[in-house]
Structure 1
Amino acid sequence: MAAQQGRSLSNRLARWGVVIVLLYALVALLTPLLVQLGALADPNAGLENPINAAPSWAHWCGTDRLGRDVGVRTLAGSGVALQVVALALVLALLIGVPLGMLSGYLGGAVDRVLVLLMDTLYTLPVLLLSVVLAFLLGRGLPNAAAALCVVYVPQYFRVVRNQAAQVKAELYIEAAQSLGAGPLWILRRYLFRNVITSVPVLLTLNAADAVLILGGLGFLGLGLPESIPEWGSDLQQALTALPTGIWWTALFPGLAMFVLVLGLSFLGEGLESWVSGGDAAGGI
C-alpha cells in the first residue's frame, strides 16, 4: 500500500512537472514577441518608462534601472534559459552516449583512456568547471551552452558505459558475434535500445541542474551579455538595488527560476518511477 501511494504521488508530481515545463516552453515560443515589447537593454527605455518603478497596473512586475519591464524581461528569460539548456544537453547526449557505448563494448585500452578522462572531469566541482570554461570561452549563448555541455558529458558517459558493459555480457550478444555481426551493428541493434532507457530521467534532472548553473554563471557575469534577458544577470543587477527597497527586480526572476527547476525536478522524479517499473502500465 505504501509503495502504491508513493507511485501515485510520483505520477501526480510528474503531471505537474509536465504542465510547468509545457507552460515555460509556450513562453519560450513567444520570446521574439516579448523581446520586441522591451525585454532587451534599450538606452532610451528610461525615457519611455519610469525607472525602478514599483509593480503597478501599467507594469505588473515593475521596471528596472533602465526602465525595462521586469515581467516582460523575466518571461523572455524563460526562452533564453530553455534554449541554452536544451542546446547544452543535446550536445552532451550526442557526445556522452556514443562514447559510453563504445567504451563499454570495446573495453581494453580505449575503455581505460575514456574512463580516466571522464572520471577526471567528473571529480571536478560542477559549478567551478562551468565557471572556468565560461571564462575561457567568453560570454555568449553558444559559449554558455558549450560550457554546460562539457560538465554533463561525463554523467551520460558513466551511465551508458556501465549499462553497455553489462549488456555486452549477455548471451544474445555473443550469439550475434558468432554469427558474424559487426560492432556497429551490435551497438545500433542491441546496445542502444538497452542503454537509452535511463537517459530521459538523467536528462530532466540535469536540465533542472543546468538552469541553476546558467543562473550562477549569469550572476557572476560569465553567462550571457546584459542585452540578452537572463535570470542570473538580472539577479546580479538587482543585488545592488535590494538595500534601497527595490525588491521586485530580484523577486520575479528568482521565482521564475525556482518554478522551472521545481517542474523539471517533478518531471524527473516521475520518469524515474516509471522507468523503474513502478507504474509502467499506468504511465505518467
Structure 2
Amino acid sequence: MFFPFSQSGVKSLSQKMSDWGVCLLGIYLVIAFLTPILINLGLIPDGQFGLDSPIFAPPSLEHFCGTDRLGRDVCSRTLQGTSVALQVVFLAVGLAVLIGLPIGILSGYIGGFFDKALVLIMETLYTVPVLLLSVVIAFLLGRGIPNASIALCVVYIPQYFRVVRNQTAQVKTEQYVEAAKAMGAGPLWIMKRYLFKNVITSVPVLLTLNAADAVLILGSLGFLGLGLPETIPEWGSDLNMALDAMPLGIWWTALYPGIAMFGLVLSLSLVGESLELFFNHKKTVQK
C-alpha cells in the first residue's frame, strides 16, 4: 500500500519503510508461488529428500546455500518454507478474524450475561502466554498444517474479540444507532449496516501484526518439534537441526532459514505500519 507524498513533496521515513515492507512481502508471495513450479520443472532440487547429495556440503554452484545433515538442499528447503509459513500463518489469522470478529460484535451489542461470559473466557485465554498456549494446543492436536493453524488461531481470537467488542460497545451508543432502533431496524441489520463498518477498520492492522507474531510462534513450535511433520520444509525445524552443526563451523544450515524468517516478520510488521498510516491519514482527511 503506497501513500501520497507529504505536503513538502517528500515521503517521510515511516512511509518509505512501509512501502519497502509491501515490496518485500510481495517478493515472498512470488517466491511461494514460483517455488513449486520450479521444483516440478526440475530447475531446483526438492528439499524434502537428500537425493544422494553429500551431507553438510558448503555453498557452491551446485547447492547455492549448501546442504544439511541429510544431504537436502538448504536453498530449496528455505524457499519451500516460505510457502508453508504463509499458508499456516494466513490460515491461522484468517480463522481468528472469522471467529473473533462476529462474536466480538455480538458480545458488545447484546451485552448482559452473554457478554460477561464471553469476556471471562476470552480474558482467561488472553492472560495465558501466547507461546505456552500454542505449545499446549499443538501438543494436544498433533503435528500438521491444519493443526498448527488451529493452535495459532486459538491464540489470536481473544485479541480480535477484545478490540471489536470494545469498539462495538462504544459505537452502539451513538445517536444514529439509536435512531435506527427507533425506526424499527433489527439487531442484525444494525450490526451489519453500522457496527461492522466502524469496527472493521482496526482489524487489518492487528491482522498483519498478528501474522508477523505468528511466523515467530510457528518457528518456535517447529524448533520444539511440535509444528509440522519432518517431511514438510519448515524454518523452525531446520533451525533446530542446525544447532548440532553450529559448533562444527557449519553455519549455512542456520543462516538462510533465519534470514528468511526475519525478512518475513519484518515485511509483515512494516505492512502493519503501512496500514496504520493509511487509516490515520484517512481519518485526518475525513476530519
Give the structure-1-normalised TM-score.
0.93
Q: Please point out which of 124, 139, 142 is paired with 1:120.
A: 124
Cα distance per residue 1:88-122 (max 9 Å; x no partner): 01100000000100011111111100100000000
Q: Please point out which of 150, 153, 176 is paired with 1:146.
A: 150
Please report how far the alpha carbon of residue 279 of structure 1 lies from its aligned counterpart in structure 2 after TM superposition.
Answer: 8.6
Q: Specify the code of the residue in structure 1 equivalent to 2:209.
A: L
Please report how far the alpha carbon of residue 34 of structure 1 lies from its aligned counterpart in structure 2 after TM superposition.
Answer: 5.2
Map 1:93-108 onto structure 2 (within 5 A).
93-108=97-112
Q: Please point out which of 182, 187, 198 is paired with 1:183.
A: 187
Q: Specify the code of the residue in structure 2 equivalent to 1:115.
A: V
Q: Does 1:27 align with 2:31?
A: yes
1:7/1:181 CA distance change after superposition, 3 Å: farther
Q: Specify the code of the residue in structure 2 equivalent to 1:72.
A: S
Map 1:60-75 onto structure 2 (within 5 A).
60-75=64-79
Question: Residue in 2 aligned with 1:265?
Answer: 269
Gaps of 5+ in 2: 1-5
8 A contact 1:46–1:66 mirrored in 2: no
Q: Specify the code of the residue in structure 2 equivalent to 1:105.
A: Y
Distance 1:214 1:119 in 2: 23
Please report how far the alpha carbon of residue 33 of structure 1 lies from its aligned counterpart in structure 2 after TM superposition.
Answer: 3.1
Distance 1:280 1:178 in 2: 31
Map 1:1-284 onto structure 2 (within 5 A).
8-33=12-37, 36=40, 37-42=44-49, 45=50, 47=52, 49-277=53-281
Cα distance per residue 1:260-280 (max 9 Å; x no partner): 111111111121122123796
Q: Specify the code of the residue in structure 2 equivalent to 1:248.
A: W
Distance 1:9 1:139 in 2: 42
Q: Specify the code of the residue in structure 2 equivalent to 1:69.
A: D
1:38/1:57 CA distance change after superposition, 3 Å: closer
What SS does the corresponding residue of 2:12 show, helix, strand or coil? helix
Task: Give aligned pairs, total.
Answer: 276
Question: What CA RMSD, in Å, does the superposition of the two structures yield over aligned residues?
Answer: 1.9
What SS does the corresponding residue of 1:175 show, helix, strand or coil? helix
Q: Specify the code of the residue in structure 2 equivalent to 1:128.
A: L
Distance 1:89 1:41 in 2: 27
1:71/1:198 CA distance change after superposition, 3 Å: same
Please report how far the alpha carbon of residue 40 of structure 1 lies from its aligned counterpart in structure 2 after TM superposition.
Answer: 4.1
Please report how far the alpha carbon of residue 41 of structure 1 lies from its aligned counterpart in structure 2 after TM superposition.
Answer: 2.9
Give the structure-2-normalised TM-score.
0.92
8 A contact 1:140–1:223 mirrored in 2: yes
Distance 1:139 1:97 in 2: 27
Point out the more displaced range, 95-104 or 29-38: 29-38
Cα distance per residue 1:243-264 (max 9 Å; x no partner): 1111100000000000111111
Distance 1:246 1:280 in 2: 53
